[in-house]
């Protein structure tokens, strides 16, 4: 089952979503912030946005704050869904 | 959007949905005919229903020049008319049997998006051939094996409960959700290049690509017959300037891609 982080109002009713879906690009581990037809990948290792386009500055500041507040939970959800590519790489995988 | 956009038959609600595309609304057969003649090289046509198709068909049949004409029909088309439209237009997306499309307001936003090539507006499950046919915002199709919609320990993808959602960014099969960008990253090399260009982190090395592809496929460094885990690690760290052709061939065979495709990941 895909993971969806509950957002408070008014962000929820404005169509903001935070998801980890069952098939994602896996490297690096991330959550996706969705708003209508736009999406931003947010790196669960570094806590920063991964793509220059669309501009990360377009994400509501309050939504970013929710990501930061829930970082531990989001990392745990990712690791549960994708144990072969955990947020903290296994020693063996570091080469 | 580069091409001209035409909306057949004015419906107040529909015109409002598609306003961002600045479509020219065509109300008479003469207007449709003229648009076909003027914009025969390339145009996007939007028709609300089969009933509005008659004038479009009449005009297109009269035109002798065939360009890149793309047609989106929001209603159902069936039978011979369906075959005719597919013969006349380069790409046709309609609510044909089994096809599920986004709601009109979401389709409109996808079509107006600069990223429309990387968003889906709908699709259809072909259960017999075990594939999902997805329609992109440019009306082109992408065929994805249903077997791809799986995750170890994840929910089962239910093919009888398919929809595209989240303004074309998610494909849902029952409780199973797949990201549109993950599908495109896997199955479309051009979309993969565009995605890499958007990335802030620019690890364009072969080793970086190899690592991303390996993890994307859920493989360990030990999973490559004929290449040691240490060697894979050295390549991923960039300690091997140029992997030997035999090594590349082994890697490519394990991933199911061409050797030259590895670095596109």
Tell me the CA distances in angstroms from A95 to B76, B232, B251, one per residue in order: 55, 9, 18
C-alpha B259/C-alpha B240 separation (Å) is 16
Fold held by B204-264: 434 Repressor (Amino-terminal Domain) (1.10.260)
* Residue-level pLDDT at B202: 73
**Taking CB atoms and an 8 Å limit, are A52 and B198 in contact across chains?**
yes
Provide the chain B residues 59-98 that lie in CB contact (below 8 A) with chain A. none
A92 vs B contacts (CB less than 8 Å): 221
Instruction: List the end-to-end C-alpha distance of chain B, in Å, as a whole number.
Output: 28
Task: Report pLDDT digits (tens) over B202-223.
Answer: 777 899 899 999 988 889 999 9
Q: What is the full DSSP assignment across B177-243? A: EEEHHHHHHHH-HHHHHHHHHHBSS---SHHHHHHHHHHHTT--GGG-TTS-HHHHHHHHTT-SSS-
B4-97 is classed in which CATH architecture? 3-Layer(aba) Sandwich (3.40)
For residue B61, what is the enclosing H or E element?
Answer: helix B53-62
With an 8 Å Cβ cutoff, are B182 and A32 in contact? Answer: no
- B215–A85 C-beta distance less than 8 A: yes
ipTM of the complex: 0.93
B4-97 and B204-264 have identical folds:
no
CA distance B63 to B40: 8
If you compute the radius of gyration of chain B from its CA atoms, what whole number of angstroms results?
22
pTM: 0.88
Domain definitions of chain B by residue range: 4-97, 116-191, 204-264
Mean pLDDT in each 10-residue stretch from start to end of chain B (265 residues)? 82 84 88 86 88 74 76 88 86 93 96 96 97 98 98 96 98 98 96 89 85 90 94 92 91 94 92
Q: Do B218 and A84 touch (CB under 8 A)?
A: yes
Give the pLDDT band (50/70/90) at residue A95.
very low
pLDDT tens track for A12-46: 999 999 999 999 998 899 999 999 999 999 999 99
Instruction: Report the C-alpha gap between B9 and B46 in whole angstroms.
Output: 9
């Amino acid at each position: 089952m895909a993971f969806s982080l509950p957002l408070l109002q008014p962000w929820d009713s404005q169509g903001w979503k935070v998801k980890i879906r069952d098939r994602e690009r896996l490297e690096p581990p991330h959550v996706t912030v969705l708003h209508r037809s736009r999406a931003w990948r947010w790196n669960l290792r570094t806590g920063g946005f991964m793509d220059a386009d669309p501009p990360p500055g377009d994400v509501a500041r309050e939504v970013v704050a929710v990501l930061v507040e829930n970082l531990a939970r989001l990392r745990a959800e990712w690791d549960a869904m994708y144990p072969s590519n955990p947020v903290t790489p296994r020693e063996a995988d570091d080469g | 959007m580069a091409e001209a956009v035409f909306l057949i038959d004015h419906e107040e609600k529909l015109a409002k949905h598609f306003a961002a595309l600045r479509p020219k609304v065509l109300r008479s057969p003469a207007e449709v005919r003229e648009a076909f003649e003027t914009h025969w090289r390339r145009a996007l046509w939007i028709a609300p229903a089969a009933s509005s198709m008659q004038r479009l068909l009449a005009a297109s049949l009269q035109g002798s020049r065939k360009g890149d004409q793309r047609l989106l029909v929001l209603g159902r088309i069936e039978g011979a008319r369906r075959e005719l439209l597919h013969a006349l237009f380069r790409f046709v997306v309609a609510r044909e049997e089994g096809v599920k499309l986004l709601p009109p307001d979401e389709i409109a936003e996808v079509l107006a998006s600069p990223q429309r090539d990387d968003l889906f507006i709908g699709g259809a499950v072909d259960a017999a051939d075990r594939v999902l046919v997805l329609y992109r915002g440019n009306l082109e199709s992408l065929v994805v094996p249903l077997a791809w919609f799986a995750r170890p320990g994840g929910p089962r993808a239910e093919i009888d409960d398919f929809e595209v959602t989240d303004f074309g960014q998610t494909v849902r099969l029952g409780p199973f959700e797949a990201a549109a960008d993950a599908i495109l990253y896997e199955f479309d090399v051009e979309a993969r290049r565009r995605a890499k260009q958007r990335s802030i982190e620019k690890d364009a090395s072969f080793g970086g690509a190899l690592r991303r592809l390996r993890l994307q496929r859920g493989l360990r460094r030990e999973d490559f017959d004929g290449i040691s885990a240490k060697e894979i690690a050295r390549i991923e760290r960039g300690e091997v300037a140029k992997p030997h052709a035999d090594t590349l061939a082994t890697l490519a065979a394990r991933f199911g891609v061409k050797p030259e495709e590895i670095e596109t990941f």
